[in-house]
Amino acid sequence: MLFISPFAGLLIDKVGRRAFFILLSVTLIAISCMVSLLLVKLDPENYTFLIPLLTLGVGDSFFGGSLWTAIPFVVPVENLGIAFGLLDCIRNFSVAVITYVSGKVLTDIGPPTNGFPLFYLILSVLAIAGIFVTLVLICDDKINRSGLLTTKAQPITEDSSKSLQASLERPLTNRLLTSLGESLDNRMKQSNYSRNS
């Protein structure tokens, strides 16, 4: 699904509604896992396994484009590095744990065909849990951020483009300090105040 990811990102940037795309992607991944669970007993020469595999790829393409771009909307600018690092740490940890559990399931149950139904059942349960977590995210977004992740993308107006152009003409350090806002300014004033007293 290498070729779908850029187009998924472009669509997400144009449409907005990142929470909807996260829900769509997790639902596609869940459907893929459940269909794979049903197809595991079929003859290996049968190519119907490509349908859930392609569905999984499309879901994963939309998942990356919608989840990673939603982080700056919900995390303060000064904590973005921590948020991205924490998200990547959680993702890598979950990949390691699922790989280990999958290996144990497939090797301890017996021949590979006996372990695959349980393997796909575990993946299906995790994907369904992902759907519920996404629904909680949507509810939290509506309550705490007035639906910021569920709104449409706003077109750039002439005023906003002038403001953007003016901010890009300033040196990078000024842009970064401006984007951090008053919280950084207040912290600097407090630290200077504490040094002077």
Q: What is the mean pLDDT of the chain?
A: 77
Residue 182 structure tokens: 């008053």
Q: Do residues 117 and 37 make contact, with C-beta atoms less than 8 angstroms apart?
A: yes
**How many structural domains is the chain composed of?**
2
Helices (H), the chain: 4-15, 18-39, 50-74, 80-108, 112-144, 158-169, 172-180, 182-196
Convert the pLDDT of each residue in 80-119 to its tens digit.
889 999 999 998 999 899 889 888 877 777 665 566 778 8
Same domain, residue pair 145 and 59 = yes
Residue 171 structure tokens: 């040196």
* Whole-number Å distance between alpha carbons of 177 and 184: 8
Residue 103 structure tokens: 């290996």
Convert the pLDDT of each residue in 5-30 to its tens digit.
889 888 888 888 888 999 999 999 99
pTM given for the model = 0.71
pLDDT computed for residue 131 by the predictor? 93
Same domain, residue pair 119 and 184 = no
The answer on pLDDT for 164 being more than 50 is no
Same domain, residue pair 86 and 140 = yes
Same domain, residue pair 146 and 170 = no
Q: Which domain holds residue 11?
A: 4-150
| Diameter of the chain measured on Cα atoms | 79
